Amino acid sequence: MIFTGDTVQHGLADEYAQLRELLTPLDAPLYVVPGNRDDKIAMRAAFDDQAFLPEDGDFLHYVVEDYALRLVALDSTSPGERKGVFCPERLAWLDAVLNDQPDRPTLLFIHHPPFDVDDHYLGGYRRPEEAVALTNLVSRHTQVVGLLCGHVHWPVERDWAGTTAHIMPSVAVDVRKGVDEVEARERPIYMLHRLADPTDLDSQFRMVAGTP
């Protein structure tokens, strides 16, 4: 299971404790990346038993090598900043990671989509040139089979940087003003990804069964 950020509302320790309690019944491996509502220090403390998260440093980037599909988590957050950030230091990290295994199929996941989404999400990065740089970097690495994002709370699929980007909707009921699709607002949605072969990622939106 991949959780693309905003795992809690205010980044408080007791919220993360409740999150871990809710996730306890989960049998599948869980990988999280911070969103703008997360606190990276509190998140790191809450998931300190999970080997994937780095123990120190400014960014919660990491790589999971355990599967046929390589998983690369990107940290697009900065304390006190709602919009995305992808500075030269982060770009250098990602470029080095992708250069390390250029022939291995790789899936990226990040909280902030590096592109606009209609009226729901405009100007998503504080410095638009950073989103452009991220796009240009990924376009040079043909082993990337997809990008998973969050933040927008809306199911979106589009071509991006020579691959396909998917935006995960909110797994909670979306009560924001202006969200008009009643079914999507009242029934939480998740995404199911299947790897048909090392380079063919099949992604589908699913509604949570049994919700009122």
Q: Please state, in angstroms and rounded to a whole number, the distance separating the CA atoms of residues 126 and 111.
A: 14
Q: Tokens representing 73?
A: 């988590």
Rg (CA), the chain: 16
**Mean pLDDT for all residues in the chain:** 86
Give the pTM.
0.87
Question: 189-197 and 144-149: which strand pairing?
Answer: unpaired
Tell me, what's the pLDDT at 173? 59
pLDDT of 118 reads: 76
At 28-54, the pLDDT tens digits run 899 999 999 999 999 999 999 999 999
| Residue 159: pLDDT over 80 | yes
What does the domain layout of the chain look like in residue ranges?
49-207
Any idea which residue has 């709370």 for tokens?
Answer: 153
Note the pLDDT of residue 131. Answer: 95
Domain 49-207: which CATH number of 1.10.260.40, 3.30.750.180, 3.60.150.10, 3.30.1740.10: 3.30.750.180
